[in-house]
Amino acid sequence: MEVIICSSYEELSRAVAGVVADIVRAKPDAVLGLATGSTPLGLYKELIRMHKEDGLDFSKVTTFNLDEYVGLQPDHEQSYHYFMRENLFKHINVDPANTNVPSGTAENYDEYCQQYEQQIKDCGGIDVQVLGIGGDGHIAFNEPCSSLASRTRIKTLTEQTIDDNARFFDKKEDVPIFSITMGVGTILEAKKLLLLANGANKADAVAAAIEGPVSAMCTASALQLHPHGMIFIDAEAAGKLKMREYYEWIQTQKPTAPAS
Ligand code: PGA
């Protein structure tokens, strides 16, 4: 894992956008795994800027989102379909037919989840997966105790996640209890993982993910199993890391390190 501590949320967003943009430039038909939540908003703003000002071309890109609330129609303002349209897709030249967000209104979820997994495989797998992290250490909606081998499926949200996400709804009772989410096993198959976190409220989860044991109790710790995981955090989110100085030292030494 590479831990990159950024001086601000803006720097973090620019750094992650730079990694995504390099992948899209090197492989114009790249498959991007995308996330929702407040954390990737700065990344999406920067990608939109790069599209508008630098001509970053998304016309051949395919996208797969991590998750969706069960029961919300795609035009519901808190659905992740709506989020992605408003915060990224409608501002860049991605073909809407190539954007995939799990359905929150499928008739048969067993079949639908298998189909979603198959679609990812048919596209050759995800080249780079963007991830946030929940206060309870979840990635996507893989709440504590999710199998680290799990696949796309229905997951019941924890009380903490419902509380965390209540800020986006009129009232807590409106937050859906169920989600459809890629599994940890699905996520680990992406060729590169970029986990983003900012703010002191993520510091415990970030420390558990990076320095704790690999555990289903903190599904973000599964990144320790991935050969190409990058974790971008701001100073506040880095606040509880024991080896912080070492991670910073690695970054300062990087230009002189032997090529790998
Ligand atoms: P946030 O959510 O970006 O809104 O903090 C992250 C998550 O729950 O995965």
Q: Is 157 in the pocket of ligand 1 (CB under 6 A)?
A: no
Q: What is the mean pLDDT of residues 114-133?
A: 98
Q: Does the CB atom of residue 42 touch ligand 1 within 6 A?
A: no
**Contacts (Cβ under 8 Å, ≥6 apart) of 106:** 112, 180
Q: Whose CA is nearest to atom 7 of ligand 1?
A: 134
Helix (H, G, I), strand (E, B) or coil at 122: helix
Q: What average pLDDT does range 16-36 have in this prediction?
A: 98
Q: Which tokens go with 148?
A: 């680290």
Rounded percentage of the chain residues whose pLDDT exceeds 90: 97
Strand spans (E) along 46-141: 62-65, 67-69, 99-100, 128-131
pLDDT band at 255 (very low <50, low <70, confident <90, very high): confident
The alpha carbon of 39 and the centre of ligand 1 are apart by a number of angstroms equal to 6
Distance (Å) from CA 2 to ligand 1 centroid: 20
CB of 134 shorter than 6 A to ligand 1: yes
- Give the per-residue pLDDT at 260: 65
* Per-residue pLDDT tens over the stretch 51-68: 999 999 999 999 999 999
Active site residues: 67, 136, 138, 143
Ligand 1 centroid to 157 CA: how many Å? 13
pLDDT value at 194 more than 70: yes
Mean pLDDT over the full length of the chain: 97
Q: Among 164, 198, 219, 236, which residue has the most ligand 1 atoms within 8 Å of its CB, making it the best to mutate?
A: 164
The one-character DSSP state at 215 is B
At 258, is the pLDDT very low, low, confident or very high (cuts 50, 70, 90)?
A: confident
Q: Is the CB of 133 under 6 A from ligand 1?
A: yes
Q: Are strands 67-69 and 178-181 parallel, antiparallel or unpaired?
A: antiparallel
Binning pLDDT at 50, 70 and 90, where does residue 259 land? confident
pLDDT of res. 169: 94
- Does residue 118 contact residue 182 with C-beta atoms inside 8 Å? no
The Cα 202–Cα 240 span in angstroms is 9
Instruction: Please tell me if the CB atom of residue 37 comes closer than 6 angstroms to any atom of ligand 1.
Output: yes
Q: What contacts 192, CB < 8 A, 6 or more positions away?
A: 19, 23, 127, 128, 129, 228, 229, 230
Cα gap 3→74, rounded to integer Å: 35
Residue among 9, 39, 136 whose CB has most ligand 1 atoms within 8 A, to mutate = 39
When computed from its CA atoms, the radius of gyration of the chain, rounded to whole angstroms, is: 17
Probe ligand 1: pick from 12, 34, 38, 143, max atoms within 8 Å of CB?
38
Q: Which atom of ligand 1 is nearest to the CA of 35?
A: 9
| E strands present in the chain | 2-6, 31-34, 62-65, 67-69, 99-100, 128-131, 153-156, 178-181, 193-197, 229-234
58: CA distance to ligand 1 center in Å? 25
User: Residue 81 Cα, ligand 1 centroid: separation in angstroms?
Assistant: 16
DSSP state of 94: -
Ligand 1 site, residue 8, Cβ cutoff 6 A: no
Task: Note the pLDDT of residue 102.
Answer: 98
Please say if the pLDDT value at position 80 is more than 70: yes
Distance 56 CA to ligand 1 centre (A): 26
Dump pLDDT digits (tens) for 198-250.
Answer: 999 999 999 999 999 999 999 999 999 999 999 999 999 999 999 999 999 99
pLDDT in tens, 131-177: 999 999 999 999 999 999 999 999 999 999 999 899 999 999 999 99
* Residue 79 pLDDT level (bands cut at 50, 70, 90): very high
